[in-house]
Chains A and B, each alone.
Chain A
Amino acid sequence: MNREIETKEEKEHLFDKPRNVKRLLGFFYTLLLLLLIIDFFIHKHPYSPWEGSPQFYAVFGFVVCVALIFVAKYILRPIVKRKEDYYD
């Protein structure tokens, strides 16, 4: 049933255009910048000194995610990766 659809000239989709991907990324980076700026103006009620330090959540989120990827890729994967038919 898919053949019918395939033979038709396929219409271009949203992210097929590199320009749209660029726009999305641009929007995303602007949002990040806004979040960094807003951080200076909000009233904070932290429970610990580090939670109250400027841009704590932004730095933490970025750093731990990079660390997560590196640990998963360079430490965990070499240890646990096996072929798909390993248990067969």
Chain B
Amino acid sequence: MINTVPPAAIFIIGALLIPLLRGRLKSIYLLLLPIVGFINLINIPEGTHWVIKFLDYDLVFGKVDRLSLLFGYIYHLISFIAILYALHVKDDIQHVAGFVYAGSSLGVVFAGDLFSLYLFWEIMTFSAVVLVWSNRTKASLAAGFRYLLVHVAGGLCLLAGIVLYVINTGSIEFGYIGLKDLATYLIFIGFGVNCAWPCLHPWLPDAYPESTITGAVFMWTFTTKTAVYVLARSFPGTEALIWIGAIMTAFPIFYAVIENNLRRVLSYSLINQVGFMVCGIGIGTALSINGTLSHVFCHILYKGLLVMSMGAVMYRTGKINCTDLGGLYKSMPLTCIFCIVGAASISGFPLFSGFISKSMVMEATALGGMNIIWFLLLFASAGVFHHAGIKIPYFAFFSHDSGIRTKEAPLNMLLAMGIAAFLCVFIGVFPGPLYSLLPYPVDFEPYTPFHVVGMSQLLFFSALAFTLLILSGIYPAEMRAINLDADWFYRKAGVAFYRFCNVPLNSFRLGAQNFLTRVVDSTAKLSGGVYDPVIHRRPMGLGIFLSLSLIFLFALIYMISIYGRF
């Protein structure tokens, strides 16, 4: 038995040492950090550890059970892949921010109390925004500020909820909360902002595509999945989540179909995927929670893989819009294959990881008799294949030849993608090891002939629709354009509201003020200068005397009224 430390500590403290190292030593150190963290993690026994007294409360930095452990494993795994992918980057700030971001996410996952949870929650926001700003463009600066504003607002909502909750219950323990009163609703919405719920989501397609190529792997992983974790911990079985999740799976698909920027397509498909998880939490049965958690595990890998393949394209070509890309399979064949593996996994093709996790959530809705939800999720499954499964590989690597000839991605990027791709296929073929990590015993067989044929039919006939529409020219053409989303309300309507306050309302105030001043002035003039401040102002002492007497009088009346009762 070795001495273990809180998983967050290794990443966050370890990150601070990165700028001190140079060259090959730094590369080795970066790769070792997640490995050391993982060895530490598997040696932590289940239970409650690292309890620190703070004022009258217990801060718990290690609530370790099967739920938090599963997130711990996958967070370490993706951190290793992400840092391998980023190994060529010379910018220390990005490495530090990436590890602090991953570490604070681990902090949230293992937090046993609301205070430390909130602390790590806010560190996540601030470290993530560094990964956006590190792109050092005007667009990323602006997107980063918007990201910060939205998340600080969400964080304040969460803080208000936590304060009220602690006052109401007297306990800061973080466990099942459930929707009851104002405090719990505020916490619920605070979590929802990070989870990119409908209408609270626009920060995601706004900021994520502006993040750095390598930081993107961190971005696409941590914020939303940590929100899924806290929801699974504190609001399982909350009916509202079923609907929120189902809407999340459906509406981004429409946006993704007409979106030109491929990283923004991936952002919309992230919302779609998180929708499946949120829905599974809402149903709250053992099967659906298992489905959600296995989906988290698979999703982090295949979404990371897709993000990495698009990052490699961006790294080599400097472009990410459908209108600029095409025909890249000729010069980046390996990246193309990895991208297709990721696409097959997210679509849920049999033998790929998405298949063995998504079908659990689907089955849970079917068993619960939720027909509308089941249809929505099935529609979303077909739709995700359309935009993430076909659109991304097709427009980047095939489609019309853009004439771009470039080199294959660097070795470290290829290795990172290769590991992720291997795991996607491995989990898809052998789901057993993943199922054994889930919190509830798994009684689910994904590979029945009915599942396999049904899912294949769904996907292949979706592909047929795509093929026929492309061949007939009906498929919406790629256009150099952007699409309005809910962020319009704070990017345009907010600015317009400010202008309205500033120009018409302010000039009205100014006009009214000038007018009244003039009225007072002219009235004063009418009195012919009778008022002379030196003569007519009463001495100061009189005012003080009067007010003191008044207070004395009130005090007297108060005393009499109290004693009068006896």
| Nearest-Cβ distance from residue A60 to partner chain B, whole angstroms | 7
| Chain A 35-54 interface mask (CB, 8 Å, partner B; 1/0) | 11011001111111001000
| Chain B 255-289 interface mask (CB, 8 Å, partner A; 1/0) | 10110000000000000000000000000000000
A47 touches B366 (CB 8 A): yes
| Nearest-Cβ distance from residue B289 to partner chain A, whole angstroms | 19
A72 touches B450 (CB 8 A): no
* Nearest A-chain residue to B479, judged by Cβ: A81
Known interface pairs A5-B405, A69-B469; A60-B382 also in contact (CB < 8 Å)? yes
Interfacial residues of chain B within 286-304, with CB under 8 A of chain A in the complex = none
- How many A-B residue contacts, CB cutoff 8 Å? 146
| Nearest-Cβ distance from residue A1 to partner chain B, whole angstroms | 8
Q: Within 8 Å CB of A86, what residues of B?
A: 482, 484
Of the candidates A28, A47, A69, A84, the one whose C-beta lies within 8 Å of that of B367 is: A47
Docked complex Cα distance between A79 and B453 (Å): 38
* Nearest A-chain residue to B404, judged by Cβ: A2
Q: Known pairs A69-B476, A82-B481. 20 more at Cβ < 8 A?
A: A2-B405, A5-B405, A13-B329, A31-B460, A42-B450, A43-B449, A45-B448, A48-B374, A57-B458, A60-B378, A61-B461, A62-B464, A64-B383, A65-B382, A72-B258, A77-B483, A81-B483, A82-B483, A86-B484, A87-B492
| Nearest-Cβ distance from residue B464 to partner chain A, whole angstroms | 6
Of the candidates A25, A66, A71, the one whose C-beta lies within 8 Å of that of B465 is: A66
| Nearest-Cβ distance from residue A21 to partner chain B, whole angstroms | 10
Residue of A6, A10, A45, A65 contacting most chain B CB atoms (<10 Å): A65
| Nearest-Cβ distance from residue B392 to partner chain A, whole angstroms | 16
Binding site for B on A (CB under 8 A): 1-2, 5-6, 10, 13-15, 25, 28, 31-32, 35-36, 38-39, 42-48, 51, 55-62, 64-66, 68-69, 71-73, 76-77, 79-84, 86-87
B450 touches A45 (CB 8 A): yes
Interfacial residues of chain B within 453-479, with CB under 8 A of chain A in the complex = 453-467, 469, 474-476, 479
Docked complex Cα distance between A27 and B25 (Å): 51
| Nearest-Cβ distance from residue B175 to partner chain A, whole angstroms | 33
Interfacial residues of chain B within 326-385, with CB under 8 A of chain A in the complex = 329-330, 363, 366-367, 371, 374, 378-379, 382-383
Q: Within 8 Å CB of A36, what residues of B?
A: 457
Known interface pairs A45-B450, A81-B258, A83-B481; A73-B476 also in contact (CB < 8 Å)? yes
A82 touches B482 (CB 8 A): yes
Of the candidates A45, A46, A69, the one whose C-beta lies within 8 Å of that of B475 is: A69
| Nearest-Cβ distance from residue A27 to partner chain B, whole angstroms | 12
Docked complex Cα distance between A87 and B405 (Å): 33
B483 touches A80 (CB 8 A): yes
A14 touches B329 (CB 8 A): yes
A35 touches B453 (CB 8 A): yes
Docked complex Cα distance between A52 and B374 (Å): 14
Q: Within 8 Å CB of A6, what residues of B?
A: 405
* Nearest B-chain residue to A12, judged by Cβ: B330
Q: Within 8 Å CB of A46, what residues of B?
A: 450
A2 touches B406 (CB 8 A): yes
B480 at the interface (CB under 8 A from A): yes
Docked complex Cα distance between A6 and B403 (Å): 10
Q: Within 8 Å CB of B453, what residues of A?
A: 35, 38-39, 42, 57
Please list the 10 inter-chain residue pairs (A to B) with the smallest Cβ-Cβ separation, ordered nearest first: A65-B465, A57-B457, A47-B366, A61-B461, A61-B458, A72-B257, A73-B476, A80-B484, A58-B457, A62-B461
B450 touches A43 (CB 8 A): yes
B386 at the interface (CB under 8 A from A): yes
B329 touches A35 (CB 8 A): no
Q: List 29 A-B contacts (CB under 8 A).
A: A6-B405, A15-B329, A31-B460, A32-B460, A35-B457, A35-B460, A47-B367, A48-B374, A58-B457, A58-B461, A60-B378, A60-B458, A61-B457, A62-B462, A62-B465, A65-B462, A68-B257, A68-B379, A72-B255, A73-B257, A76-B258, A77-B483, A79-B484, A81-B258, A81-B482, A81-B484, A82-B483, A84-B481, A87-B492
Docked complex Cα distance between A64 and B405 (Å): 37
* Nearest A-chain residue to B363, judged by Cβ: A47
Q: Within 8 Å CB of B374, what residues of A?
A: 48
Q: Within 8 Å CB of A71, what residues of B?
A: 254
Of the candidates A13, A77, A83, A84, the one whose C-beta lies within 8 Å of that of B476 is: A77
Docked complex Cα distance between A68 and B348 (Å): 19
Q: Within 8 Å CB of B53, what residues of A?
A: none
B491 at the interface (CB under 8 A from A): yes
B181 at the interface (CB under 8 A from A): no
| Nearest-Cβ distance from residue A62 to partner chain B, whole angstroms | 4
Known interface pairs A35-B457, A61-B458, A61-B462; A68-B383 also in contact (CB < 8 Å)? yes
A69 touches B329 (CB 8 A): no
Residue of A38, A39, A77 contacting most chain B CB atoms (<10 Å): A77
Q: Within 8 Å CB of B46, what residues of A?
A: none
Residue of B366, B455, B456 contacting most chain A CB atoms (<10 Å): B456
| Chain B 426-469 interface mask (CB, 8 Å, partner A; 1/0) | 00000000000000000000001110011111111111111101
| Chain B 36-65 interface mask (CB, 8 Å, partner A; 1/0) | 000000000000000000000000000000
B398 at the interface (CB under 8 A from A): yes
| Nearest-Cβ distance from residue B212 to partner chain A, whole angstroms | 21
* Nearest B-chain residue to A87, judged by Cβ: B491
| Nearest-Cβ distance from residue B295 to partner chain A, whole angstroms | 19
